Structure 1
């Protein structure tokens, strides 16, 4: 018996990946998670002797015939080879037979779905009068986070960024030159103190600013803590904040909650479905901790697979039983 395996490289993924579609797919993932229709399996995340970090995130949605995983990680030495440190591959599997259905370059999926998740957090938590945005980092994830943020917060009219060396990144500035001015901040605490929305999109090497730098009413999206030992927030901040997470267990295992596991929180999916409510007072500080759900990868991968299949993209391989 023969089956067919569709293989989609980065070029094929880019041809069908649209921000509005990704936002809808990621929101669907959060809703499925809240309604317990989608399962998230235990995460594998291990350091390697090569200096990299390798992980697997897997899950399924039985009622929708969706099953699969993402094998991904971070290899910092790739920069010396002229490559991207983040590497990811997604596989969709037929839940009835276990046969692989589609193998997809996962780098763009990871980037886009994380940007979309951040945007959904901003829609739910940031004050509607937020005007000043501060981002830590200038890499791929920082760029997509800002891009998606500007899609859902069109009133933002000032962007500052904190680079690792506090030096200007002209390439980063050019990306947003036609939308709003971007300025490099010399001091992290001052940048945070003057901002309404703060996005941390770094490798998670340690606290990025002082806990008391945040002004009342500010919101923080935390992206970089996705492994034991990583963090971006300072001690004491979560105690001052209203905390929302994508997944409670993952946040306590891999995210910012690992440093304060007793912090009360709600899951973003429960806000979307109405299972939980967060009445935000004007002076409340809110934090959204993004650790990344397998369901996000799978709903976006399914979207890509269906569009690529219908559009005749990719390479089909005969895959004997």
Structure 2
């Protein structure tokens, strides 16, 4: 058997932040993330073991990777959290995605992954609310006012039309005028001074903080509440109080990841259902009005890859991005 010589004119496509922002729309991301959940449920997409390690610089570095063999989709996201970036005027979350040709191992596209991570996580949270929150939910409480808190609330208001009131708790405990302004006209939004009271009054609770410890007391969570938990994505992080998970109906994006780096690490024997099994129809869940439900979100590599594939295709159609020679 003869093989063709390696091409000397091979190119690598680079998509920077501004190009990614121009190519993405929330509806497209929502569709891509739903596909990722279903692929994961049907085991057509593989999720490889996660790397998530602290650095001496004070940051946390991680790699999430996977593939969809039937679609020729392979790649990874190198990402993490560098809190000192705030002092430099930069974003502490940093991510870069690389798509790879599974037939040759050659890189196809390098993508700034910050917006991808932000929006795909917001879309995943929105899908969790659609599946698990009570459909008559009117009041939401969100912990955090950063990039992820904002996108989680954005998708919540898009996908749960009954929401009317939002309480928020900032890490500083102060009013955040810029956060409020982002949602002007979409809901009644105000800061909460008492986190326990805010949780007790809310139908939906979203936790989107650095995960430094329990954000409220166990007794604050009332029957019927749904919680989307975003901040626990590393060993040792948590946002929920001790003893809550054994009392709830627990849903995760990936069972193994949740037990290793999510809220579920604190109660790894708690029975759970993967959200993709609901979206694929593999499992049906009847939610009682007084059920407390939790969606433990650790982030699937497949979500990054399905969104990255979309960006790669859109950039090719639009002639966007920077192409550089990448000969064999």
Question: What's the TM-score bracket when you normalise by the shorter of the two chains?
Answer: over 0.9
User: For 1:67, what is the secondary structure of its paired residue?
Assistant: strand
Q: Say whether 1:315 aligns with 2:322.
A: yes
Match of 1:173 in 2: 180
Alignment of 1:244-283 (within 5 A): 244-283=251-290
Match of 2:235 in 1: 228
Structure 1: gaps (5+ residues)? none
State the TM-score, normalizing by the size of structure 1: 0.99
Superposition CA RMSD, Å: 0.6
User: For 1:31, what is the secondary structure of its paired residue?
Assistant: helix
> Match for 1:40 among 41, 47, 50?
47
Alignment of 1:36-115 (within 5 A): 36-115=43-122
> Match for 2:156 among 107, 124, 149?
149
Alignment of 1:8-23 (within 5 A): 8-23=15-30
Match of 2:291 in 1: 284
For 1:236-273, what per-residue CA distance to the aligned partner results, in whole angstroms no more than 9, with x for missing partners?
Answer: 11111100000000000000110000000000001111
For 1:278-304, what per-residue CA distance to the aligned partner results, in whole angstroms no more than 9, with x for missing partners?
Answer: 211000000000000000000011111
Q: Say whether 1:239 aligns with 2:246.
A: yes
Q: Say whether 1:123 aligns with 2:130.
A: yes
Contact 1:75 1:86 in 2 (8 A): yes
User: For 1:122, what is the secondary structure of its paired residue?
Assistant: helix
Structure 2: gaps (5+ residues)? 1-6
**Partners of 2:192 and 2:316 in 1: CA distance:** 45
Shift of 1:165: 2.1
Contact 1:71 1:89 in 2 (8 A): yes
Contact 1:118 1:148 in 2 (8 A): yes
Match of 1:195 in 2: 202
User: For 2:62, what is the secondary structure of its paired residue?
Assistant: strand
**Partners of 1:305 and 1:24 in 2: CA distance:** 16
Contact 1:242 1:287 in 2 (8 A): yes
Shift of 1:49: 0.6
User: For 1:316, what is the secondary structure of its paired residue?
Assistant: strand
**Partners of 2:130 and 2:22 in 1: CA distance:** 27
**Partners of 1:314 and 1:274 in 2: CA distance:** 38
**Partners of 2:292 and 2:253 in 1: CA distance:** 18
> Match for 2:213 among 195, 206, 230?
206
> Match for 1:183 among 187, 190, 194?
190
**Partners of 1:179 and 1:124 in 2: CA distance:** 22
Shift of 1:4: 1.4
Give structure 1 regions of 4+ aligned residues with deviation exceeding 3 angstroms: none
Contact 1:228 1:255 in 2 (8 A): yes
**Aligned length in residues:** 321
**Partners of 1:303 and 1:122 in 2: CA distance:** 24
User: For 1:171, what is the secondary structure of its paired residue?
Assistant: helix
Q: Say whether 1:136 aligns with 2:143.
A: yes
